[in-house]
Amino acid sequence: MKKRKIFLIICLVFAVCYGSAFSLLQVFSPTNAESVYVATSSENKQIQQKLKDLGYYYGSIDGILGSQSVTAIKNFQRDYGLVVDGIVGPNTLKALGLNNSSSYSSSDLYLLAKCVHAEARGEPYVGQVAVAAVILNRVKSPEFPNTIAGVIYQPWAFTAVNDGQINLEPNDTAYSAAKDALNGWDPSYGCLYYYNPATATSEWIWSRQTVVTIGNHVFAI
């Protein structure tokens, strides 16, 4: 009985020590942010649409590869002589005719969508377009860096970049908002700043001229 108690104490002490040390290592680890690649739901929708067109899938085009989609993928793979694993890899994509996207991937759009998602998910759609527009307005402004990456990764510029949320995979709404802003939509009309009045700690941000409030964000020039 006593031995068991001692054993338990030993286990507990080790667990606490390793736990705290491990969390210390985690905090200082540079790869703390989420970095696992997840296919975007728009890619999944394309796969579902293609399978539907070919008569393998009868469910809704929702971007979620559930059991119905997996069965459809397996049936497709069987018919096309591919490895039947229900996973859409490069060969299945090729057979579906979906790998013919060009070698030019719009990194600016992706980065902009990532920043919009990290900074403004949960905000109204137009608020997300306005956040993307502020980033593009900064690119055009002489007071900020001259590229999208330069503006987004400017030290101390965006909290969601500082805390690693920028590495979350953007959703379709963020993509759409980023695309609209790149196409010239700017509901803030040239604003260079935005802040959430409930959480903003900076003094000077309150001195900027407010242009419009959209959702929780105040947009200022």
Hey, which residues between 181 and 200 contact another protein (CB under 8 A)? 183-191
- In the sheet with 217-220, reading across from the earlier edge strand, the strands are 193-195, 217-220, 210-214
Please report how close the Cβ of residue 168 comes to another protein at its closest, in angstroms: 18
Tokens of 113: 């969508």
Q: Report the residue number, 40 or 91, with the smaller CB distance to another protein.
A: 40
- Regarding 18 and contact with another protein (CB under 8 A), the answer is yes
Tokens of 77: 């793979």
Q: Report the residue number, 28 or 36, with the smaller CB distance to another protein.
A: 28
Q: Report the residue number, 20 or 66, with the smaller CB distance to another protein.
A: 20
Q: Report the residue number, 77 or 191, with the smaller CB distance to another protein.
A: 191
Please report how close the Cβ of residue 177 comes to another protein at its closest, in angstroms: 8
Burial class of residue 3 in the structure, from the number of CB atoms within 10 Å of its CB (0-12 exposed, 13-18 middle, 19+ buried): exposed
Taking CB under 8 A as the criterion, the residue among 72, 123, 180, 194 binding another protein is 180
Please work out the total of residues on this chain that contact another protein, with binding judged by CB under 8 A: 71
For every residue of 164-179, which 3-state class applies, written as one string? CHHHCCCCHHHHHHHH
Q: Which of 170, 133, 184, 132 is nearest to 42 (CA)?
A: 170
Neighbours of 80 (CB within 10 A): 14
Sign of the dihedral through C-alpha 163, 167, 173, 174:
positive
Site for another protein in 54-73 (CB under 8 A): 61
Taking CB under 8 A as the criterion, the residue among 102, 122, 198, 199 binding another protein is 102
Please report how close the Cβ of residue 76 comes to another protein at its closest, in angstroms: 20
Neighbours of 160 (CB within 10 A): 19
- Regarding 39 and contact with another protein (CB under 8 A), the answer is no
Q: Report the residue number, 85 or 147, with the smaller CB distance to another protein.
A: 147
Helix, strand and coil content of the chain, in percent to the nearest 5, comes to: 50, 5, 40
Please report how close the Cβ of residue 84 comes to another protein at its closest, in angstroms: 27
Taking CB under 8 A as the criterion, the residue among 31, 33, 59, 124 binding another protein is 124
Q: Which of 104, 115, 200 is nearest to 165 (CA)?
A: 115
- Regarding 9 and contact with another protein (CB under 8 A), the answer is yes
4-26 in b/e form (b: 16+ CB < 10 A) is eeeeeeeeeeeeeeeeeeeeeee
Q: Report the residue number, 77 or 119, with the smaller CB distance to another protein.
A: 119
- Regarding 32 and contact with another protein (CB under 8 A), the answer is no
Q: Report the residue number, 81 or 90, with the smaller CB distance to another protein.
A: 90
